[in-house]
Amino acid sequence: MADVNEKLPEEEVSSSAAETKTKGEKKPNFFVRTWKKIKKFFRDYVSEMKKVVWLSRKETFRSSLVVVVLVVILSVAIALVDTGLEYGVIGLRNLGYFLR
């Protein structure tokens, strides 16, 4: 049976590969690394934009119309609630004057 303290062959290979990497090569300078990241970002961006499925003109118009109608309806509802609360507060204030 294998001893618990023994290293597995995989661990030895990975540790020696890490040592070689750190000893052998220096990191590219900041500008080179940054440029590579920028290029990768735009490459990935273009790749993802090719996967996007755009709505048709008709679907876009319908969706926009639904949004505008809902905004108008909710605006009217909020205005009515606000006006009702305003008159309620005014009524309570006037009720206080009568109770004096």
User: Is the per-residue pLDDT at 22 higher than 70?
Assistant: no
Degrees, nearest 5: CA angle 27-31-35? 105
- Rounded to whole angstroms, the Cα distance separating 89 from 76 reads 20
Each residue of 68-81: b (16+ CB within 10 Å) or e?
A: eeeeeeeeeeeeee
Helical residues (DSSP H) of the chain, grouped into ranges:
9-24, 30-51, 57-98
Spatial contact of 33 and 27, defined as CB atoms under 8 Å apart: yes
Q: What is the rounded average pLDDT of the residues 14-29?
A: 64
Sign of CA dihedral 35, 36, 41, 45: positive
98/42: higher pLDDT: 42
Quote the pLDDT of residue 5.
58
pLDDT digits (tens, 9 = 90+) for 50-63: 999 999 999 999 99
- Please provide the size of the chain in residues: 100
> What's the first-to-final CA gap in the chain, in angstroms?
96
The rounded mean pLDDT for the chain is 84
Quote the pLDDT of residue 7.
57
